[in-house]
Amino acid sequence: MQEKVDSIKKEVLEAIDGICDSKVLYDLRVKYIGKKGIISELVSSLGSLTIEEKKQYGSLINNLKQEVTKLFDDKNKEIELNLLNEKLKNEKIDISLPSIQIPIGSPNILEKLIEEVEELLMSMGYDVVDGPEVEEDKFNFEMLNIPKGHPARDAQDTFYIKGEEILLRSQTSPVQVRTMIENKGEKPIRMICPGKTYRRDDDDATHSHQFMQIEGLLIDKDISLSDLKGTIDVIVKKLFGESIETRFRPSYYQFTEPSVEVDISCFNCHGKGCNICKQSGWITVAGAGIVHPNVLKMGGYDPKVWSGFAFGFGAERLAMLKYGINDLRVFYNTDLREVATFDRKESD
């Protein structure tokens, strides 16, 4: 038996020696220590031996099985290691290769300015709401007290999409109407709606067919022009500095009565007169007013009970003033070289 065991071990050692393929090794493993392998058969044959013989050969055969199993395991590890080394040699990573430079973008300062206004007004209890850019004539004009055929419509060179009923909103004011309807004439409202608006107007560097407005609406009881002035004052001071003053000039909008034009004292020359304020010392930044009773009524609010104010800022205009930009179109430019200059402007 000893001889048999020795010869099997020798046989395995010789067979294993040159193998460098794990599949071949596996087949060989099955041949010797698989369920019906040569050594496994030997182990099972122990059962038919006498107790004496079992004592004599049992450990011999079991040792053989253990040793051979270890031989296969070690060889398998060796093959895998060789494979890995081979792979690493072929797939060498050149760590000295310079990495690809991915240009880093910058947040758009128009967005930043809008966020600044949003945060301020949210801290004053306003909700930031959204409305559709493809709007109905009803909300964009009619319910804002601008009936069909009204000359005020001409001033807002509107893009019509379908007949006279569907259009690209020419102002964010329709969101006032939508918000009133949503609140069913029952609750006070404090909302702002920053959003895109569209007009057929891109004649010069200060106009674009698409621009952004920041609409504001407050409805409550006993609201007066001084509430509007106080609110606007907080906004412009936050954006342009504590020393900035606000003034109202009489104006005309169909959806407010009285209507005003909001001017701020020039942050550049502080009233002396410069290019930015066109030598007047004042800069116009918004339209505003007390919500017209007709608009309240059409929105479902009883004008005998409720009153309110509304305002509309031109967002690009605010950003142009704040950051000293003279071409509105740069906000919509995706050229990173341009956009990166925004960061510099902001840190000025």
Interface with ligand DAH includes 256 (CB under 6 A)? yes
- Nearest residue (CB) to ligand DAH, 191 versus 277: 191
Segment interacting with ligand DAH, rule: CB under 6 A, options 122-130, 306-314, 315-323, 340-348: 306-314
Give the tokens for residue 50.
Answer: 């006498």
Task: Annotate 278-320 with DSSP letters as a single string.
Answer: TTSSEEEEEEEEEEPHHHHHHTT--TTT-EEEEEEEEHHHHHH
Interface with ligand DAH includes 72 (CB under 6 A)? no
Q: What is the DSSP letter of 95?
A: T
CB of 95 closer than 8 Å to CB of 36: no
CA dihedral in degrees (144, 147, 150, 154; nearest 10)?
A: 60
Segment interacting with ligand DAH, rule: CB under 6 A, options 93-101, 108-116, 299-307, 310-318: 310-318
Residues 6 or more apart whose Cβ sits within 8 Å of residue 174: 131, 135, 136, 139, 140, 143, 144
Q: How far is the CB of 98 from ligand DAH (least distance, A)?
A: 52
CA 137 to chain centre: 31
Interface with ligand DAH includes 171 (CB under 6 A)? yes
Q: State the DSSP H helix or E strand holding residue 112, giving kind and residue range, or none if neither.
A: helix 109-123
The number of beta carbons lying within 10 Å of the beta carbon of residue 304 is 9
Binding string, 182-221, against ligand DAH, x = CB under 6 A?
---------------------------------x------
Among 145, 173, 179, 231, binds ligand DAH (CB under 6 A): 173
CB of 218 closer than 8 Å to CB of 227: yes
- For residues 300 and 296, what is the distance between their CA atoms, to the nearest angstrom? 6
- Nearest residue (CB) to ligand DAH, 61 versus 310: 310
Q: How far is the CB of 156 from ligand DAH (least distance, A)?
A: 7
Among 198, 311, 323, 331, binds ligand DAH (CB under 6 A): 311
Task: Annotate 130-153 with DSSP letters as a single string.
Answer: ---SEEEHHHHTGGGT--TT-THH
Segment interacting with ligand DAH, rule: CB under 6 A, options 28-36, 39-47, 89-97, 307-315: 307-315
- Nearest residue (CB) to ligand DAH, 98 versus 151: 151
- Nearest residue (CB) to ligand DAH, 171 versus 179: 171
Binding string, 273-292, against ligand DAH, x = CB under 6 A?
--------------xxx---
Using CB under 6 A, list all residues that contact ligand DAH. Answer: 171, 173, 215, 253, 256, 287-289, 310-312
